[in-house]
Chain A
Amino acid sequence: QKEVEQNSGPLSVPEGAIASLNCTYSDRVSQSFFWYRQYSGKSPELIMSIYSNGDKEDGRFTAQLNKASQYVSLLIRDSQPSDSATYLCAGRGGGTSYGKLTFGQGTILTVHP
């Protein structure tokens, strides 16, 4: 099992819909989690971080963490064409692993008008 897995393939949603992105993780990267957005040819840009069980909301974005199921998700409400990008889920351990990110393979999101 990979340490961080994003299983959903390319996702296409209409403008204004909710986009749901999912990620599972292993014990080694279980301290905190980060969702990054990456436009083609650019570096990752942090959208949200979460490390406590439950939901965390920031504007149109909600991150959800379920430690029992080792599952983290990102919901994007009122999706806009400008949200079209690759979304990367990353986990981070603690202790000596603090700071080291383990990324999933990414999910390509397309929001069509």
Chain B
Amino acid sequence: DTGVSQDPRHKITKRGQNVTFRCDPISEHNRLYWYRQTLGQGPEFLTYFQNEAQLEKSRLLSDRFSAERPKGSFSTLEIQRTEQGDSAMYLCASIPTRGLPNTEAFFGQGTRLTVV
């Protein structure tokens, strides 16, 4: 499978625990994006990487959130001291750096986080 892969697909955790999600983008895509989607809303941008450099972070990304892309390939998103409000679908997408205006971003299948 050469699409965007996310792991795990589902995660249930107790409030206060730390969780880490992984995203493997399409191999030739330089840019990798993380989005969060809560029930009844569209996905909201969290952060993005160009290769290994994290170039933008949303104000939604509190100090409890950290993302890395150490070798410019896969990325991880960690949430420390989870809260019930962190319950959401976390989506990863990748896209080539250079493309046409209608170049498609490819989404992974998402990680559904439930904090109990």
Q: What residues make up the interface of A, taking CB atoms closer than 8 Å to B?
A: 4, 6, 31-32, 34, 41-46, 49-51, 88, 90, 92, 94, 96, 98-106
Q: Given the interface contacts A31-B101, A99-B33, does A104 sit within 8 Å of B109 by beta carbon?
A: no
Contacts of B56 in A (CB 8 A): 100
Q: Interface size of B by Cβ–Cβ distance < 8 Å?
A: 27
Contacts of A102 in B (CB 8 A): 45
Binding stretch for chain A, among B11-19, B36-44, B59-67, B77-85: B36-44
Q: Please provide the chain B residues from 2 to 58 with a CB less than 8 Å away from any CB of chain A in the complex.
A: 31, 33, 35, 40-45, 48, 55-56
Would you call A103 and B33 a contact (CB within 8 A)? no
A31 to B33, CA, bound (A): 18
Q: How far is the CB of B89 from chain A (nearest CB, A)?
A: 8
A101 to B95, CA, bound (A): 11
9 residue pairs, one from A and one from B, having the closest CB atoms: A103-B42, A49-B102, A32-B101, A51-B101, A99-B95, A43-B107, A43-B110, A99-B31, A103-B43
Closest to B108 in A: A43
Would you call B105 and A51 a contact (CB within 8 A)? no
Q: How far is the CB of A2 from chain B (nearest CB, A)?
A: 10
Q: Given the interface contacts A41-B112, A99-B95, A100-B48, does A46 sit within 8 Å of B104 by beta carbon?
A: yes
Would you call B40 and A105 a contact (CB within 8 A)? yes
B113 at the interface (CB under 8 A from A): no
Contacts of A46 in B (CB 8 A): 104-105
Q: How far is the CB of B91 from chain A (nearest CB, A)?
A: 6
Contacts of B97 in A (CB 8 A): 98-99
A106 to B97, CA, bound (A): 27
A96 to B112, CA, bound (A): 29
